[in-house]
Amino acid sequence: MTTKEQTAYRATPKWIAFRLHVLEKRNYSCYVCGITKKKGQHIHHLSTTTYGKETPSDVVVLCSSCHRLVERLLRRTKNKIDINLFCKRLKKLL
C-alpha cells in the first residue's frame, strides 16, 4: 500500500472501529513507556504488509513521543529492525 493509500485507509470506518477496539482493549496504554491517556495515542503497525488486513497482534499502541522515536529508528535502519523487540528492550530501560 502506498502512503497515499494508507492515509485514505485510516479514514475508513473499518480502520476507525479497529483503532478504537485496540485502544480500548489495551487501556490506551503506550507499549513502550506505559503512559495512559485517552487522546493522542497512536496505533503503530509492526509490519507494513498487514496494512488493511491487520489483527490486534499486528499493531501496538504508542504515545506520540515513543512513536516518533520508533519511526526515526525505522528510517535510520531502513526498516531493518524488529520493532517489537526494540519496544520490549526500550520498555525495560524506562
The pLDDT assigned to 16 comes to 96
Write down the pLDDT at residue 79. Answer: 67
Q: How many domains does the chain have?
A: 1
Cβ neighbours, 10 Å, residue 17: 10
- The boundaries of the domain holding residue 86 are 3-93
**pLDDT (tens place) for every residue of the chain, 94 residues total:** 888 998 999 999 999 999 999 999 999 999 888 899 988 999 998 887 888 899 999 999 999 998 998 888 888 877 666 777 777 767 666 6
Q: What is the pLDDT of residue 15?
A: 95
90 burial level (CB within 10 Å; 0-12, 13-18, 19+): middle
Q: pTM for the whole thing?
A: 0.82
- The DSSP-derived string for 58-79 is GEEEE-HHHHHHHHHHHHHHTT
